[in-house]
Structure 1
Amino acid sequence: MNQKLVYPLMFTFLIGSFGFSVLTDNSDNSTNLLDTSDLDAKNMDVFRQLLNQETIIRMSLVKNVHALMKDMLDLKGSMETLKSSQQNTDLEINALKEEVDKLKRKNQRLELENRHYEENFQAVAENFTKIDEHIQQAVEQLDEKRQHFETNTSALLADLKVEVRYLSVTLLDLNKHTSKIDESIPVMIQEKYEQLSLRLNTSVENLSNDIMTTNKTMVKSMSDLENFRSSIQTTISVDINKTLDELMAEVKQSKYDQLQLSSTVSSLEVFRMNLTNNIFGKSKKVGFTASVTSSNTSWNSGTLVFPSVITNEGDGYNQHTGIFTAPSDGMYVFFVNVQGYDKQPIYVDIVLNGSTKVRTMAYSSTGTGDYYDAGPNMVVLTVQKGDAVWVKHSSGKGYFSSGSITTFSGFLI
């Protein structure tokens, strides 16, 4: 195809390069000199016109030749581009051929698999045929069993009807017996309740008596402690006064002058007064006992307040807050007894300035029949003036009160 285009172009180029005018007899006469001696003036003008036209034609041919040469160069570049495209096309064709080969091989594998699947489908179809045959046999067997079951069921239903009749009669008798039991249950419950109430009241009375006896014993013990403290204080005070009197007598008999004697006597008097009043001569007594006024089944947090004040010597206990504030320094004894309500456990602490010191509990053990257990405890504390002591909740809930059972006490040793 490219050669067919090249040959006409070369032919045109040759014509443009060597094609001379017929009027010049195929000779290249650039000077355009003609023998005009025998021509007349008219022929001369015609000849000149023809010559000018020939020149114009030659110039046009040259111009066309140059244009053709340029087109040939462009055509040559296009041919090279076509050659490159042809190579790329060949490569793509080769790649496509390889893809086609791969697809052919894949198609062959698929055909083999398809044959395998067709064989499997045929085997499955045969299996389905066998299954249909088995199902038909199973249906026939089920029909036979159903007929046999219906026959047996009819006999069973007849037997069940007879049993239901006997059961109805039995239920009627049971209903009558249950009615009698229902009538007797309230009477039994009432009897049990009365017996339990009697036992409970007896246990509470015994417990109250035991607590009163314990409280009396503790009050007597506290009184004995106070008398013992007073006697010791008196003995020590007498011994100190006696010793100081002897010292003062010895000083008066010495050889010091009167001024020094008076100063020494005054110092001894001050020493005796301070020693007696500040250490051994505490005449102010401190002690309190308070109790709750009623039972509470739901108390479960905060400070346990004892509003009923029995004794409050020194005005240290506050019946509104339940807190004892020490009016003076010293060694104090504190006692608490909390009575649990029914079977409810209760745990309380004696605290000093918010710090727990001792704990007590009232915990009833179910199954023994003894309720309203008591939880007493006592602690001896070194207390500074202004320190606070109270009873606070630890765990559990509620407390019992019958008289002065749940109490809080304390006194200065």
Structure 2
Amino acid sequence: MAYVGSSNIDVHQSASNLVVHQLQVGDRVWIEVFSGSHLYSASPETTFSVIMINGSENTMLKDQIQILNSTSMLIQHNMSTSEDIRRLDNIFTFEIEQTVKHIEDKMMNNMSATITDLELRDRYLSFSLLDVHNNTASLDAQKQQMKSEIQALTKSQQNEITQLNNTIIHFKNRVQSNVAFTAGILGETNGQHTYASGDIVKFPKFIYQVGGGYNPTTGVFTAPKTGLYIIFCTNVAAHQQVFYTQIMINGSPKAGVLAYVHPTSAYIHQSASNLVVHQLQVGDRVWIQVYDGGHLYSNIPDTTLSVVMINGSD
């Protein structure tokens, strides 16, 4: 019976047994499961051996006894007295006993050698199972080390991914927090636009816009965030006309943009640009206002207004 307790880890238990039995020709021997059904055998470790240790000796013993009996009967037939027969019978009985003893001793020696061989095989099997256990323990240790390394690598990668996501979110928030736009005036008949002094120039066509703030209906930009802004305006005067505007912040002129074409000039359009860098607070208002002359040219558009926050509160 080989049994391993359920609390043992990676242990294989071996068991051996031996039966000495007289068999006749045709007798059958096999190994049958009585209880349990889980067997381990790889190299192989589980074996079955049958050895005949006394077949020829029995035949020799029978032959010698038969010869002695025949000889005894022949001598008894030639003996004249009962005393002679008795002494002869004692002699033959002694010889038969010695012969039997000699054969039994030889059989026991053979049996001892067989048992010793089986014990050696059982010991080898025990060592083999111990090697399997040690190798299994070594593999388990390597497996645990690899598992720890994988966990450490996974944690490191997760930290890097978290840092990358935070960086992406940071830049995304910065992009979303930007305030910038460029707007222009589309062409009417021949691209001509006429304004009166004091009018606010409206730029209804957005070329780019992020962060809000500009109202194309009123022409006024209201700062949605506190920061440092660039305000840039380009005017194009109509042929032989003047278009003079001012960049206004909260009703105060900060810079002029004058585009002038002399009446005697050939058919040309004159452009003019100006730029203001200014700190704006939330709610400050910016617009372009006509100062003198009201003849503007813009078609694709050519006259534009751009406002960009370059250094916000974040």
Query: One fold, TM greater than 0.5?
Result: no
- Larger Rg: 1 or 2? 1
TM-score (norm. length: structure 2): 0.41
Higher relative contact order (CA 8 A, sep 6+): 2
Higher helix share: 1
